[in-house]
Amino acid sequence: MAKVLIAGCGDLGAGLAAELVATGHDVTGIRRTKSVFPEGVTGITKDLLNMRDEDLPDADLIFLIMTPNGRHADAYRAAYFDTVQVLIRRYQNTDTLPTVVFVSSTSVYGQNQGEWVDDTTPAHPTSATAKVLVETEQALAAALPSVTVRCSGIYGPGRFRLLDTVLSGKEWEANSWTNRIHRDDVVSALVILANMALAQHTLPEQVIVTDQTPVSMWEVKLWLATCLGASVAVKDTSQFVPASGKRIQGQFLLSQGWVPRYPSYVAGYQVLLREFNALRGGKA
């Protein structure tokens, strides 16, 4: 049995915590708000930035799964870089250094002309928020054993933003490549990394988690519009071939036996559409 700390025990963290508890690990979860945690998890409701060293438990493995309060650099710095400083301060001088799994984002890849990206592609952040993520990754790697998990766009239960956008009738933005991963597949990927870390297997510096099926954003929206009976809000159909974005695939997790339950947006959104329609009072 290992001692696992999940710093950021929200949707993803709770799913991971439940899986780890089920396999016999001692799991502590921290979240800024709300006091509901999965059964068997020792829950702490507190802002990690305000926690003292003695408030943080001993840990063999730490997952950092934070959500910023905004989509700007200051919010990212508080959620990621500043939080990592708290973990470094607490754990860098322990007798046995814990491994930290940092859930980051594929936004750190600045490619934007349809290039292919994989686990070996160097990060070249262009946005202010992506630069904070890379700065956080580097600070963590310099102080503690760590692996960065770069996730593409996460969707899943309760995440209806794209569906609402398609239903709104608002004209679609310029077409681009898009990459996605279902929330449940992120959880299963993190479980594999947890098992590897606890078995003291060598982990790469960074791992990509994506469904391996990059597609055109308009393709996704067209499929959703058909399913929802919404209008296709496109004036210039000559842009159907994406002129921007990147195409992402990751091989490391596949080499370790990871198999996505939802290998494309069609498989994942079919489940999400049933949930969405049920909430709207429609038929699944």
Residue 282 pLDDT: 53
In tens, the pLDDT along 141-164 reads 999 999 999 999 999 999 999 999
- Amino acid sitting at position 142: A
For residue 284, is it within any domain?
no
> Considering only CA atoms, which of 171, 197, 72 is closest in space to residue 128?
72
For residue 144, is it within any domain?
yes
Share of the chain above pLDDT 90, in %: 93
In tens, the pLDDT along 208-259 reads 999 999 999 999 999 999 999 999 988 777 778 898 999 999 999 999 999 9
In tens, the pLDDT along 86-114 reads 999 999 999 999 999 999 999 999 999 99
Cβ pair 35, 48 in contact under 8 A: no
How confident is residue 284, by pLDDT bands cut at 50, 70 and 90? very low
Residue entry with tokens 């001993």: 58
How confident is residue 138, by pLDDT bands cut at 50, 70 and 90? very high
Residue 283 pLDDT: 47
Whole-angstrom Cα distance, residue 198 to residue 20? 12
Average pLDDT, the chain: 95
Angle of helix 183-198 relative to helix 11-22, nearest 10 degrees, comes to 50
Region 12-33: mean pLDDT is 97
For residue 203, is it within any domain?
yes
Residue 17 clears pLDDT 90, i.e. is over it:
yes
Residue 55: which domain range? 3-155+182-212+243-262
Residue 237 pLDDT: 73
Residue 69 clears pLDDT 60, i.e. is over it:
yes
Q: How many domains does the chain have?
A: 1
For residue 48, is it within any domain?
yes
How far, CA to CA in Å, does 134 sit from each of 124, 138, 168, 175, 279?
A: 9, 6, 35, 27, 38
Total count of residues recorded for the chain: 284
CATH number at residue 91: 3.40.50.720
For residue 268, is it within any domain?
no
For residue 232, is it within any domain?
no
For residue 120, is it within any domain?
yes
For residue 121, is it within any domain?
yes
